[in-house]
Amino acid sequence: MRATATTVIILLLVLSQPQAQGTPPGTPLTLVTREGRRPVPTTVLSGQELIALDDLASLFQVSVREDTLAGGLTITYRGRTIVASTDQPMASVAGRVVALPAPAVRAGRRWLVPLEFLPRALGPIYDQRIDLRRPARLLVVGDLRVPRVTARIDAAGPPTRATIEIAPAAPVALAVDGGRVIVRIDADALDLALPTGGGGLIEQVRAGDQPNSVTVVLSGRAGPARAAATEADAVARVAIEVPSIAPPTAAAPATPLPPPTSEPASPLPVLTASRPVLQTIVIDPGHGGEDVGARGAGGTEEKQITLDVARRLRTIIEARLGVRVVLTRDEDRAISLDERAAVANNGKADLFLSLHVNASVAPTVAGVEVFHLRLDREGEDARRAAETQAVSLPVLGGATRTIDVVRWDLAQARHVKASAVLAGILEEELQEQAAMGPRPLQEAPLRVLTGANMPAALVEMGYITNRAQENLLRSDTYQASLAQAIYDAILRFREYLEEGRTP
């Protein structure tokens, strides 16, 4: 009843307003904050890129009011006020007038303002810095490190020489990975200004697969590339040298190029190819469908909380790490424990994380607990066998590879050590963000973990049988802090894996 009446009113409002039709921009604008990255919906109308005030309200916690007396729109943030004109390209910001490229414009029921409104009008009254990096399509909010990254081909060669400059300077990690040089920059985001084409043995310099990396794509004729980073005058420079695939033989007369003065005196190291240690993460939201899991007195069901947090995690991991995240279920459906492990094994995941919510007959019990697999006698034998033998694994479709030295349900045996490290890191990070349970870190023979052929852990995110915790588990803030803690743990675990790989 109420919904229908509202719909009618909205329709009338929409029909009674002239429609301003915009088109989405070629590249979406990305909001970068301490919490992560997310696209910001904008629209291009008569050559102006605009943002809706209601989107701005939810992104920046401002309140928006259409103010007929003031002849404009009133935008309020923590008691400070902006009045945006609807007929003049300007706004009054805490009493001071700032120019905008266009006035606010109405599109249906929404009011849109030019993107410049953010740094020019909202910026001065907001409690964090707002930095619009238009060419890089970034909206940076807060004191973040977003260096400008430029690249140039210095010589077509061979050897082809290129320079990537990072200003202000930031620490750089370099890797050569199958015909690419990957430059990972320790920054929150990158303001990229890269050339469109390449030169010589470099086909392209482009944004990397992760938000803070740049990828140099080498031609098929390129030999092993060398790269080194130096820093001078607050600018970091990465010098890249790419020889052709057939280097001159020792008999050929060597004609070395004089090294540029900015380069290090020692020869550039040859970097070895390597696969990133974390490419795919499987998140397993516990329960689903008919299997609701634990249920709180307020009616909250475990299956919903696990899915909510799994989706949050997927969003932040994909946005910040550029790592593929697979959920064992992304809807409300039942799925067996073996299927969950099969999804992870089939997807060749590097990490498996199962999310659950705890229950207790004692309503006072509360807190987060982390589990990893404990091996019983049989499991310990399997672990020893796994050190020398292949393991047969569950794969989707119910098939099992038949080298039956170790039963597939003991696939986890070979990863118990890494899983224990993962669980320990999870416990440490979670206790920064949440109250821990009576036994914060436990070993248990959990069925969902046994079949996973990768480091795996299970997090019980709180006790739904505790009234206060039930409310917490439903809240955005608690779910967000759980996701943040787990994300931080994954970052640390990745470092652990990376350290383990380099001898």
For residue 93, give the nearest of 111, 117, 61, 67 by alpha carbon: 117
Q: Least Å distance between CB 6 and Zn ion?
A: 38
Q: How many residues bind Zn ion (CB under 5 A)?
A: 3
Stretch that binds Zn ion, among 117-125, 277-285, 288-296, 345-353 (CB under 5 A): 288-296
Of 123 and 288, CB closest to Zn ion? 288
Q: What is the spatial distance between Cα 43 and Cα 112, in angstroms, rounded to a whole number?
A: 9
Q: Which stretch binds Zn ion (CB under 5 A): 120-128, 254-262, 283-291, 366-374?
A: 283-291
Looking at beta carbons only, is 212 or 304 nearer to Zn ion? 304
Task: Name which of 263 and 332 has its Cβ closer to Zn ion.
Answer: 332
Among 22, 36, 72, 293, binds Zn ion (CB under 5 A): 293
Q: By CB under 5 A, is residue 296 in contact with Zn ion?
A: no
Q: Which is nearer to Zn ion, 123 or 293 (CB)?
A: 293
| Smallest separation, CB 304 to Zn ion (Å) | 12
Residue placing its CB nearer to Zn ion in the complex, 199 or 293: 293
Contact between 235 and 165 (Cβ < 8 Å): yes
Name residues contacting Zn ion, limited to 334-373 (CB under 5 A).
Answer: 356
Spatial separation of the C-alpha atoms in residues 498 and 503, rounded to whole Å: 10
Nearest distance from C-beta of residue 76 to Zn ion, angstroms: 44
Residue 287 CB, shortest distance to Zn ion, in Å, is 6
Residue 301 CB, nearest approach to Zn ion (Å): 10
Beta strands of 261-312 (E only): which ranges? 280-285
Q: How far is the CB of 460 from Zn ion (least distance, A)?
A: 7
CA distances (Å), origin 298, targets 294, 419, 461, 465, 477: 12, 34, 17, 9, 19
- Secondary structure in 3-state letters for 462-498: EECCCHHHHHHHHCHHHHHHHHHHHHHHHHHHHHHHH
Residue 322 contacts residue 210 (beta carbons within 8 Å): yes
**Interacting span for Zn ion (CB under 5 A) from 221-229, 244-252, 285-293, 470-478:** 285-293
Tell me whether residue 38 is exposed, middle or buried, using C-beta atoms within 10 angstroms of its C-beta: 0 to 12, 13 to 18, 19 or more. middle
Q: Which is nearer to Zn ion, 22 or 437 (CB)?
A: 437
CB of 294 to Zn ion, least distance (A): 6
**Quick one: which of 36, 198, 199, 286 contacts Zn ion (CB under 5 A)?**
286
From residue 286, alpha-carbon distances to 283, 338, 343, 444, 461 in Å are 9, 12, 14, 16, 11
> What are the E-state strand segments in 322-472?
324-327, 351-358, 368-373, 436-444, 456-463
Minimum CB distance to Zn ion, residue 454 (Å): 21
Task: Point out the residue whose Cβ comes nearest to Zn ion.
Answer: 356
398-417 mask for Zn ion (x: CB under 5 A)?
--------------------
Looking at 70-78, 281-289, 373-381, 394-402, which segment touches Zn ion (CB under 5 A)? 281-289
Shorter beta-carbon distance to Zn ion: residue 329 or 356? 356
Q: Which is nearer to Zn ion, 181 or 448 (CB)?
A: 448
Nearer to Zn ion by Cβ, of 97 and 362: the residue is 362
Q: Minimal CA–CA distance to 188: which of 33, 40, 29?
A: 33
Residue among 286 and 296 whose Cβ is closer to Zn ion: 286
Give dist(CA 20, CA 396) in Å, integer.
50
Q: How far apart, in whole angstroms, are the C-alpha atoms of residue 349 and residue 330?
A: 17
Which C-beta is closer to Zn ion: that of 114 or that of 286?
286
Stretch that binds Zn ion, among 47-55, 83-91, 189-197, 282-290 (CB under 5 A): 282-290
Least gap, CB of 463 to Zn ion (angstroms)? 11
Q: Which of residues 241-260 bind Zn ion (CB under 5 A)?
A: none
**Measured at the alpha carbon of residue 434, what is the angle toward residues 432 and 440, in degrees to the nearest 5?**
90
Residue 399's identity, in one-letter code, is: A
Number of CB atoms found within 10 A of residue 107's CB: 17
Q: Do the beta carbons of residue 181 and residue 205 sit within 8 Å?
A: no
Supply the minimum distance, in Å, between the C-beta of residue 354 and Zn ion.
8
Burial class (CB in 10 A: 0-12, 13-18, 19+), 435: middle
Task: Determine the Cα–Cα distance for residues 385 and 387; give it in Å rounded to an integer.
Answer: 5
The residues in 83-102 that bind Zn ion, with binding defined as CB under 5 A, are none
**DSSP 3-state assignment of 326?**
strand
As measured in angstroms, the least distance from the Cβ of 303 to Zn ion is 8
Which residues of this chain interact with Zn ion, rule CB under 5 A?
Answer: 286, 293, 356
